[in-house]
Amino acid sequence: MTLYAQTKGTEQTNSATWTPNPGLTLTLPEGVGTSALIILNAPMPYAKGNNNPGGNFGVSVNGTVSPVVAGFTYNEVQPPSDGRMPTTLVLSVPLGNKPQIIMGMWSNVRGSTVIIDTPATLSAILD
């Protein structure tokens, strides 16, 4: 079984703490003894700022952000253009004895604004 969620397209955050990415929510079914492969894909994100801007991407399981995260930063302190930084996060989530809420999360790096102007996706592949 495969579960899938997609954003509408244009989203941005300038939060320094993890915040839900609107539209990226799935409910994993119960299934003790197995796990789900979770894929969060932000195909064209970029960041604006003046201190090596960047973005972090993660997944929360029932409200707790996994320590397995992905992210990007620019090499330039203040990038001269909005270069795209495709970012994909892949992790395994053990299924439990009750359904679990999976949410795509994101935050900024060093006060920047992280922007997605193409749909991002959250997928779960179950055994």
Q: Look up the pTM and report it.
A: 0.94
Amino acid, res. 92: S
Short-list 115, 105, 89, CA closest to 19: 105
Q: Is the pLDDT of residue 127 over 80?
A: no
Q: Of the CATH numbers 2.120.10.80, 2.60.120.760, 2.30.40.10, 3.30.460.10, which one belongs to the domain with range 2-126?
A: 2.60.120.760
Percentage of the chain exceeding pLDDT 90: 92
Residue 100 has what pLDDT? Answer: 97
Q: What is the rounded distance in angstroms from the CA atom of residue 3 to the CA atom of residue 112?
A: 31
Domain map of the chain by residue range? 2-126
Q: Is the pLDDT of residue 125 over 90?
A: yes
The overall longest dimension of the chain from CA atoms, in Å, is 50
Q: What is the rounded distance in angstroms from the CA atom of residue 53 to the CA atom of residue 72?
A: 8
Helix, strand, coil share (%) of the chain residues, nearest 5: 0, 55, 45
